[in-house]
Structure 1
Amino acid sequence: MAEGAIDTTTTSTATASPRDGLRRPALSPSRASDFKQCPLLYRFRAVDRLPEVPTKAQVRGTLVHSVLEQLFALPRQERVPHRARELLAPTWERLSTECPEWTELFAQDSSAAVRDWLDSAARLVDAYFELEDPRRLDPQACELHVETELRSGVLLRGYIDRLDVAPTGEIRVVDYKTGAAPRQIGEAKAMFQMKFYAVVLWRLRGVVPSQLKLMYLTDGQALAYTPDEPELLRFERTLEAIWEAILRAGRTGDFRPSTSKLCDWCSHQALCPSFGGTPPEYPGWPEPDPGEESVLDRAD
């Protein structure tokens, strides 16, 4: 997933501001998940900032997320399937202009293959309408940037696909999933991400979200979960422990590989000791910010 991809978010909020032009190192759900999966993967992405070529599925996920964000900017009566489909082509044109390297993924493809790829994105958009009627919703925010500092000093940062707030104050966090990760692994990773957002919102607003909702567009299924305060407190301690482990590794450069089935999807096997490779020389702890997520990270 390409670090430094164009940030297409339109709504943001934060509780910590940069000082002297630098942003403090922070923990994001994607980078925390990386470290849990494989500390060396975290190093490659957050410290070395090694480039990764995105897949067509990742770019498609970015496209679909952008379309759904724009859908909620329309008047309620216009939030219908054919209108969402109409947004696909101009959105792809804009994204490919902002990130021209993405178009290289299709350099060897015929125009028919590109149309098939766009049609696959349209099917994901259509699947969204099978799960809910957006004409009945007015989200408080889409692609919401959130940031908060825990009492321990750990800075948490991320982007929420959609935040719904009821007139009575209940909060629902919604995340769209378009990736093709194995379901069991994918759901565990997704729920980690959702609990991360729940902790951030709890600390920002003093309210435990009443629902964390994952919407799987590939198979048209939704998973809803209700956290409670004791659970989020335990998870907060987990995040603090992850950050402490990252800092210990950062001081020494000892980011060890951890092999799993997910290695099959890693872009950095050639540099991994577990596969006979040699990592680049450790450059030291990065500044200003190893916690930033790319737009591809957020698209999943």
Structure 2
Amino acid sequence: MVSHPASGKAPSPASPPNSLSPSRAADFMQCPLLYRFRVIDRLPEKPTPAATRGTVVHAVLERLFDAPAAERSVRRARSLVVREWERLLAKRPELAELFTQDGRAAPGEGAADGTELAQWLARAEELVERWFSLEDPTRLEPAERELFVEARLESGLRLRGIIDRVDVAPTGEVRIVDYKTGKAPRPQYAAEALFQMKFYALVLWRLRGTIPRRLQLVYLGSADVLTYDPDENDLRGVERKLLALWEAIRQATETGDWRPRPGPLCGWCAHQALCPEFGGTPPPYPLMIQPRLPLEPDGGRGDGTGSGTGTGGEGGGHS
């Protein structure tokens, strides 16, 4: 068993993938080797302050709706930040390593500006407060929050993910909402950002038979809201893309040929020490070369859905 140099911990036992989530689909499109490290090898990655803050902010925005509409105030939301941080820390004590005893970010793990813990929490409070300038929670009654969805396509491919919020209008129209604690992408990258939302729309369509009326990305880092109204052609196109993507994943799984794809995000990758592009050597391929990877094998979740935070930016650890 190979230990991961970043954490010193042995990875979980390897197994072939049996489903796709938006995060893992994006991983493969970004870099097949990154997908292998996360899904096949299941190499651990240290949490980052940015992604951890995203997790806390998501938890606050979810829990705020537990209160009656009239009590969903900025003050209440800000007060939930420390509470949700402490709740997360109780579940994941290793997050304490993000900060040293004097409250400063640990070497190599701090946010870009090396803020102290109090400032890290203050930044989370600022993001939560900014949300109130983009949406009015006193006028919202989400039908679902943190909704885990899973659907099997006619081909047998299973799709799964976690949707931050689902709103249903009195007339029945469905809106899918996702919170991002980072900044909105440049226009030329908007399609990549919407891919995740179209993925969720496809899953809900297959589950419930109705195409969501609107997809909405709420960027707290830049106070932007990106919306898109999908149609059937959009979602059928996403389905074709996912099937082609899964075929590529199947071929790589069967042959063990996972090639790195260098790009601008390499600087944030947690696995540079194992990447040939940086002079590293991947661990031995842990799976048997097999004649065919089935679309729907037996077994549990195998795509890393909800497995934790990714690299680069504040995503809240959502798929």
In the superposition, the TM-score normalised over structure 1's length comes to: 0.88
Aligned to 2:44, which of 43, 51, 67? 51
Tell me which amino acid in the other structure corresponds to 1:26. S
Distance 1:91 1:209, change over 3 A: same
Residue number in structure 2 paired with 1:215: 218
Q: What SS class does the counterpart of residue 166 from structure 2 fall into?
A: strand
Residue number in structure 2 paired with 1:80: 73
Residue number in structure 1 paired with 2:232: 229
Post-superposition Cα deviations, 1:158-200, rounded to whole Å, max 9, x if no partner, equal 0000000111111100000013686468644421111100100
Is it true that 1:128 corresponds to 2:131 in the alignment? yes
Residue number in structure 1 paired with 2:148: 145
Distance 1:219 1:252, change over 3 A: same
CA drift at 1:288? 4.2
* Structure 2 spans left out of the alignment, 5+ residues: 1-5, 7-14, 105-114, 294-298
Distance 1:110 1:117, change over 3 A: same
Post-superposition Cα deviations, 1:124-180, rounded to whole Å, max 9, x if no partner, equal 000100001101010001100000000010000000000001111111000000136
More helix by share: 1
Instruction: Give the whole-Å Cα distance in 2 for the aligned partners of 1:180 and 1:91.
Output: 22
Distance 1:185 1:39, change over 3 A: farther
* Structure 1 spans left out of the alignment, 5+ residues: 3-21
Q: Equivalent residues in 2 for 1:1-300 (5 A)?
A: 25-107=18-100, 109-110=102-103, 113-179=116-182, 183=186, 187-284=190-287, 288-291=300-303, 292-296=305-309, 299-300=316-317
Post-superposition Cα deviations, 1:54-109, rounded to whole Å, max 9, x if no partner, equal 21000000000000000111111111100111111111111001011111011255
Distance 1:39 1:250, change over 3 A: same
Q: What SS class does the counterpart of residue 132 from structure 2 fall into?
A: helix
Instruction: Give the whole-Å Cα distance in 2 for the aligned partners of 1:97 and 1:189.
Output: 35
Larger mean CA deviation between 81-90 and 290-299 belongs to: 290-299
Q: Aligned pairs, how many?
A: 280
Tell me which amino acid in the other structure corresponds to 1:63. V
Contact map agreement 1:72 1:79 (CA 8 A) in 2: yes
Contact map agreement 2:18 2:301 (CA 8 A) in 1: yes
Residue number in structure 2 paired with 1:12: none
Tell me which amino acid in the other structure corresponds to 2:172. G
Instruction: Give the whole-Å Cα distance in 2 for the aligned partners of 1:122 and 1:143.
Output: 20
Instruction: Give the whole-Å Cα distance in 2 for the aligned partners of 1:185 and 1:261.
Output: 15
Instruction: Give the whole-Å Cα distance in 2 for the aligned partners of 1:170 and 1:181.
Output: 25
Tell me which amino acid in the other structure corresponds to 2:47. P
In the superposition, the TM-score normalised over structure 2's length comes to: 0.83
Let me know the Cα RMSD of the aligned residues. Answer: 2.3
Residue number in structure 2 paired with 1:14: none
CA drift at 1:279? 0.3
